[in-house]
Amino acid sequence: MNYDKFLQIFSIGTLCVLFSLMTLGGYVSSTGVGLSCPQWPLCPQGLIPSYEFLIEYIHRTIAATTGLLVFLTMVFVLRGRHSTKPTKLFSIIAAAAVVGQITLGAIVINEKLHADLVTAHLGLGLILYSSMIFVVINIFYTNVNLKSLQPSNLSSQDSDSRVSFSNK
Ligand code: HEM
């Protein structure tokens, strides 16, 4: 598998994990279990939580995984030879947003689900999600463009115009 294809699969995988996390966040909020694990980073029971803490704990665990995936996406995008400037910029924004979001998640709990903070947690989550969508679409778009420039995909007319263009 070439690097561009790998980046395409990795970034869409990251977006899927992020989507699950946001959905689970909505479930944590609507079921009112946000404070079932009142400490950070671990619950009072330590690494293995009791059943009542499970949903909130899974939200935290997936958040940590998502943080790593979004950060790695940024590293891979920055190292990619074909990454465009906007893709790089938005991958950095997503990485910054994920750090902010995890920090904010901890503050939300410490401040006992203060409404302003929960709203900010939702807002920053949306910024993170939209930045990742932008990154994924850009990676796909760049790959499609690269494919169409491969010699086997150029019509003879295209190749002629490329030859005449390069001769100018
Ligand atoms: C990438 C990281 C994260 C994302 C994208 C995320 C996303 C979300 C979303 C979308 C909600 C629903 C908000 C709403 O319905 O108003 C939520 C709720 C919540 N999140 Fe996160 N979250 C992340 C990390 C964390 C972390 C690390 C913690 C805790 C340490 C945390 C604690 C909470 C809590 C307690 C709620 C429920 C708030 C309530 O009861 O109203 N989140 N999260």
Reading the block at residue 33, the tokens are 């279990």
Half-sphere exposure of 28 (CA within 13 A, CB side): 27
pTM here?
A: 0.87
Reading the block at residue 8, the tokens are 């395409």
The 8-class DSSP code of residue 59 comes to H
Name the band, by pLDDT with cuts 50, 70 and 90, for residue 160: low
Name the band, by pLDDT with cuts 50, 70 and 90, for residue 167: very low
What atom in ligand 1 is closest to the CA of residue 35? 35
Distance CA 92, CA 49 (A): 33
Mutate to test the pocket of ligand 1, among 40, 59, 66, 101 (most ligand atoms within 8 A of CB): 59
What's the mean pLDDT when you consider all of the chain?
Answer: 88
Residue located nearest, by CA, to atom 3 of ligand 1: 63
For residue 135, which amino acid is it?
Answer: V
Domain extents in the chain: 3-139
Query: CB under 6 Å to ligand 1: residues?
Result: 21-22, 25-26, 28-29, 34, 40, 59-60, 63, 66-67, 98, 101-102, 105-106, 108-109, 113, 118, 121-122, 125, 128
What atom in ligand 1 is closest to the CA of residue 70? 1
For residue 17, which amino acid is it?
Answer: V
What separation in Å is there between the alpha carbon of 84 and the centre of ligand 1?
31
Residue located nearest, by CA, to atom 28 of ligand 1: 105
Reading the block at residue 133, the tokens are 């969508």
What atom in ligand 1 is closest to the CA of residue 106? 30
The pLDDT value recorded for residue 39 is: 78
Average pLDDT of span 112-133 = 97
**Position with higher pLDDT, 147 vs 90:** 90
Q: Express each pLDDT in 10-64 by its tens digit.
A: 999 999 999 999 999 999 999 888 888 887 777 777 776 666 688 888 999 999 9
What separation in Å is there between the alpha carbon of 136 and the centre of ligand 1?
23
Element (H, E) at 123: helix 115-148
Q: Is 51 helix (H, G, I), strand (E, B) or coil?
A: helix
For residue 80, which amino acid is it?
Answer: G
Q: What count of other Cβ atoms lies within 10 Å of the Cβ of residue 103?
A: 11
